[in-house]
């Protein structure tokens, strides 16, 4: 009688650098598979070897290939060193076994004999539960280890961002040669430099980056001192290379007005400031024929959507600012840049207040312990703190109305587009545009700070 055909299945979770008694190598698993094949009278036609594969992953290609071969009646069994090699998920394993047994197949284990009698299923399921428990414990241990390392400021990601190096404790520290280049990229982007120009400049400094590479770097929150690993974040893991204010000014992702980020936004000043007087929506830049670029209300439900020529609206608002400057006491126009640190502190305080509120609201154990009424009372206190932090941030931003040094050469010769736009936003509380074709003075309301 010919031997029953089977496939062997070998799995190792992580190969790199592992050795010793706890590491069941592919070679050892193959030896054990050959041994059980001889014991059970099986002919192993092929051994499928899946390395760096989690036992909790039901999408493993070779594991699914072994099951498919049984269902296709190409083989009658799957041979493994241990059930933990087959799967570390009870549910996945039971689903796979049901498919295998429905096709008349069987799983053979070299290190376990759960038999075929009345208690076989119970014993097999116990062994699968043990395998899953071992995986859960390892996963929890890894998560705890990861959290502990992040708390110590250990850099867990692979690639080290431009501007940093790792010290002997595996923490990021500024690279004295590369950090100035990274900071120079942020500063120049804030002045309106294009990605291509920044890429060329970076290459000139001996740190070649593509335009996309520069764009990616300038959205990396690592430069704020943050370290991340999965869903874990530590904000003060290492020394920041840029301030929060500069990072916010440069940031590409998460544009706060949902606006276009193309060439038009680098020519005009009021996108995100100008609003439709009818519905209150922010006007967005839209291009027409030739140079006919305008601000337009894109709220489809607005019954009187406003429109204004972009160049004329910018000029009208800047003339109002110029009149205010010229009419005021010159002593008022001393540099009034404000304190960036005050805004950063207020932003940090608001972030902490929101995090505390979110943590409190998500604590289901505390909710049960306090009861609904006391929990809601305590939540109201957290909300009060958040509201106070928001008010403090608004006050700090109000005081930081921008530099009034645009008189003279600063506006034209020193500031880039980003700085001009930022100053305009800080000076204008609102610019409301009414639908119509009349002069700007008759349909644009400007409220200055």
Give, for all 449 residues of the chain, the pLDDT tens digit: 567 899 989 887 655 444 443 446 788 888 888 888 888 888 889 999 888 777 777 788 898 999 999 999 999 988 888 787 888 777 888 888 889 889 988 888 877 766 666 666 666 667 666 656 655 554 554 455 566 666 776 776 667 888 888 888 778 889 999 999 999 998 888 887 888 888 889 989 998 888 878 888 888 888 888 877 656 677 778 888 888 878 877 765 433 333 344 456 667 888 888 999 988 888 888 765 545 788 888 888 888 889 888 888 988 888 887 777 666 554 444 433 344 455 566 666 777 777 777 777 877 777 777 777 777 777 777 777 777 777 776 666 555 444 343 343 445 555 566 767 777 777 788 899 998 878 888 899 988 87
State the pairing for strand pair 172-174/293-296: unpaired
At 433 the pLDDT is 92
At 414 the pLDDT is 52
Half-sphere exposure of 186 (CA within 13 A, CB side): 24
Half-sphere exposure of 369 (CA within 13 A, CB side): 6
Burial class (CB in 10 A: 0-12, 13-18, 19+), 192: middle
Alpha helices in 157-274 (DSSP H): 179-190, 195-204, 211-217, 244-250
At 402 the pLDDT is 41
State the pairing for strand pair 4-12/42-51: parallel
Would you state the structure tokens that stand for residue 330, as one six-digit string?
Answer: 């010159």
Distances 212 to 215, 221, 252, 261 between C-alpha atoms, Å: 5, 16, 12, 14
Burial class (CB in 10 A: 0-12, 13-18, 19+), 327: exposed
Distance (Å, whole) CA 100 – CA 78: 9
C-beta of residue 32 within 8 angstroms of C-beta of residue 81: yes
At 147 the pLDDT is 65
At 329 the pLDDT is 52
At 72 the pLDDT is 92
Nearest to 184 by CA among 205, 165, 166: 205
At 68 the pLDDT is 92
Could you tell me which residues come within 8 angstroms of residue 303 by beta carbon, excluding any fewer than 6 positions away? Answer: 278
At 180 the pLDDT is 92
At 2 the pLDDT is 65
Distances 419 to 269, 312, 354 between C-alpha atoms, Å: 10, 20, 30
At 401 the pLDDT is 42
pTM of the predicted structure, to 2 decimals: 0.34
Residue carrying the six token digits 């859960």: 136
C-beta of residue 188 within 8 angstroms of C-beta of residue 194: no
Cα 181 vs. chain centroid, distance in angstroms?
24
At 191 the pLDDT is 80
At 130 the pLDDT is 66
Continuous segment of H or E residues that includes residue 71: helix 61-71
Distance (Å, whole) CA 364 – CA 372: 11
At 248 the pLDDT is 79
C-beta of residue 318 within 8 angstroms of C-beta of residue 273: no
Half-sphere exposure of 185 (CA within 13 A, CB side): 32
C-beta of residue 223 within 8 angstroms of C-beta of residue 184: no
Continuous segment of H or E residues that includes residue 373: helix 372-399
Distances 422 to 191, 274, 412 between C-alpha atoms, Å: 11, 14, 15
C-beta of residue 47 within 8 angstroms of C-beta of residue 8: yes
At 444 the pLDDT is 92
C-beta of residue 11 within 8 angstroms of C-beta of residue 85: yes
């Amino acid at each position: 009688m010919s031997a029953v055909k089977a496939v062997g299945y070998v799995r190792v979770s992580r190969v790199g650098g592992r050795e010793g008694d706890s590491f069941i190598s592919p070679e050892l698993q193959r030896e054990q598979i050959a041994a059980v094949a001889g014991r059970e009278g099986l002919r192993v036609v092929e051994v499928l070897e899946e390395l760096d594969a989690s036992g909790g992953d039901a999408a493993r290609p070779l594991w699914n290939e072994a099951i498919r071969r049984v269902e296709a009646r190409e083989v009658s069994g799957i041979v493994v060193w241990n059930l933990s090699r087959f799967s570390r998920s009870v549910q996945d394993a039971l689903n796979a076994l049901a498919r295998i047994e429905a096709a008349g197949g069987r799983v053979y284990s070299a290190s376990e004999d759960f038999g075929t009698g009345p208690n076989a299923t119970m014993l097999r399921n116990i062994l699968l539960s043990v395998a899953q428990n071992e995986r859960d414990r390892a996963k929890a241990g890894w998560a705890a280890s990861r959290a502990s390392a992040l708390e110590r400021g250990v850099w867990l990601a692979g690639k080290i961002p431009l501007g940093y190096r790792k010290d002997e404790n595996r923490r990021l520290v500024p690279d004295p040669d590369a950090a100035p280049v990274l900071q120079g990229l942020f500063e120049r982007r804030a002045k309106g430099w294009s990605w291509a120009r920044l890429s060329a400049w970076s290459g000139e400094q001996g740190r070649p980056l593509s335009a996309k590479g520069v764009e990616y770097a300038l959205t990396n929150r690592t430069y704020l001192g943050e370290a991340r690993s999965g869903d874990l974040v530590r904000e003060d893991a290492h020394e920041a290379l840029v301030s929060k204010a500069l990072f916010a000014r440069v940031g590409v992702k998460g544009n706060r007005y949902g606006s276009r980020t193309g060439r038009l936004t680098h020519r005009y000043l009021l996108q995100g400031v100008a609003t439709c007087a009818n519905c209150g929506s922010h006007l967005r830049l839209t291009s027409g024929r030739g140079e006919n670029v305008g601000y337009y209300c894109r709220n489809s439900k607005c019954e009187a959507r406003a429109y204004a020529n972009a160049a004329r609206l910018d000029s009208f608002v800047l003339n109002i600012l110029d009149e205010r400057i010229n009419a005021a006491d010159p002593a008022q126009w001393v540099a009034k840049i404000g304190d960036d640190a005050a805004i950063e502190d207020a932003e940090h305080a608001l972030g902490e207040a929101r995090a505390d509120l979110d943590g409190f609201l998500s604590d289901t154990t505390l909710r049960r312990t306090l009861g609904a009424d006391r929990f809601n009372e305590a939540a109201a206190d957290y909300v009060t703190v958040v509201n106070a932090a928001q008010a403090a941030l608004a006050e700090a931003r109000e005081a930081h109305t921008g530099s009034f040094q645009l008189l003279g050469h600063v506006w034209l010769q020193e500031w880039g587009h980003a700085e001009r736009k930022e100053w305009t936003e800080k000076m204008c509380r609102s610019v409301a545009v009414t639908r119509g074709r009349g002069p700007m003075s008759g349909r644009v309301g400007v409220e200055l700070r």
